[in-house]
Every structure is written in C-alpha cells, then in structure tokens.
Amino acid sequence: MKVEDVVRATIARLRLDAAAVEHSRWLILGVGALAWVMLNAYLAANVFAAHRGHRDLQAEMTRLTSLIGDTSWQGHLQQSDALKLQLNERLWSAATPGLAEAGFERWIREHVAKQGLETPQIQITRAPASIQAGGTTRTLAGLQRMTAKVTTSFNAAGLAGLAADMVESDKTILVDQLIVRTQRNSRMELNLSTFARLE
C-alpha cells in the first residue's frame, strides 16, 4: 500500500468519525432537551399540587379559627348539660338493679289497677343498654334496659288510660309490643321497656 492510499483512508475515516461525532452531539443535545422539558413538567406539577394543598390548609385553618372564635360553645355546653339532666331525670334510678325492677313493677301494678284492669302477670328481664352505630353495638356504662311482659285483661278504655299514664309519667316508658286477643275472655300482652341508671 502506498502512503497516498493510507492517507486517503485515514482522511475518509476521520470524515466518518466527524459525522458520527456530529450525530452523537445532536443525539445528546436532543436527550438533554427532553430531560429538561420532563424535569420542568414534573416540577410544575409538584409546585401546583403543593400550592393547592397550601390553599386547602389555609381554608381549613380559617374555618377552625372562626370556630374557635365562636363564643356560643359555652351556650351549647349549657344546653347539652340541661338536656342531659332532663334525660337522667326520666330514667329509673336505684342503688341496685333489683330495686330498679321493683320500682318499675310497682309503677305498672299501680297504674294497671288505677285503670280498672285485673291484676297483671309481670315478667321483667334486664340487660345492659346498648346502641348501634356504624354497624357495631356499644353498651352504655351504668345503664340497664328493663323489659316487662305484662299480661292482663283487655279493656279499650283501660288500655287508653294506661297509655296516657305512660305519656304523662315522669319516667321514659316505651311500648315495644301490644298483642290483644279478643275472645270470650279478652286478654292483652304488653311489652314495656324503660331504662335504669344504677347509682
């Protein structure tokens, strides 16, 4: 090989390398520009989300500040205490569950007799009072639910008078169930419930 051929081959190779370098330069520049655009888009999205979160926090802080500044809380507390006192007065209160049952049974016997109905048969059951919230059942500490099954003679006027006595009573008494059997010897079965607070 002649020196001229070697020089020509080297020059051709350098021209190809220069073209490859130019292509590489444009490729690197394109990748860099794409990375810069993506980084700016990512930062813009994060700044926008942070700004939205900041606005939400400011709105919540303003709402809470207005609630704290509201002076009617004391009034609400007093109203709540008054309602709690009224509710507690409507509960049977006794030192023991047996005394609460006896008081409830005495009230039933007195008012059934007052309405001219025959002496009732009474069966009282007792269980802790509970409430259902959100699919779960919670018992209420210190409260008992008493349910009395009362069987006596049926008389429409007597039943109406007994219902009026329950409404006018200073205690909460609920009628859970009423069954009337009208035969030769008409009878009625009442399931009455009330609540007792143990002291």
Domain ranges (residues) in the chain: 1-70, 92-198
pLDDT at 87: 83
pLDDT at 32: 83
**Cα(173)–Cα(91) distance, rounded to whole angstroms?**
9
Q: How many CB atoms lie within 10 A of CB 108?
A: 23
If you average pLDDT over residues 29-55, what whole number do you get? 89
Q: How confident is the model at residue 21 (pLDDT cuts 50, 70, 90)?
A: low
Asked if 158 contacts 116 with a C-beta cutoff of 8 angstroms, the reply is yes
Please state whether beta strands 136-153 and 121-133 pair in parallel, antiparallel, or not at all (unpaired): antiparallel
What does pLDDT average to over the chain? Answer: 84
- For the segment 165-175, what is each residue's pLDDT rounded down to a tens digit? 999 988 889 99
- For the segment 79-138, what is each residue's pLDDT rounded down to a tens digit? 888 888 888 888 888 888 888 899 999 999 999 999 888 888 999 988 888 888 777 888
| CATH 3.40.50.1100 given to domain 92-198 | no
**Cα(97)–Cα(102) distance, rounded to whole angstroms?**
9
Share of the chain above pLDDT 70, in %: 88
Q: For residue 1, is pLDDT > 70?
A: no
Q: For residue 185, is pLDDT > 70?
A: yes
pTM over 0.85: no
If you average pLDDT over residues 58-82, what whole number do you get? 81
Asked if 189 contacts 150 with a C-beta cutoff of 8 angstroms, the reply is yes
Q: How confident is the model at residue 14 (pLDDT cuts 50, 70, 90)?
A: low
If you average pLDDT over residues 176-193, what whole number do you get? 88
pLDDT at 17: 64
Segment among 27-36, 43-52, 142-151, 162-171 with least mean pLDDT? 27-36
pLDDT at 106: 93
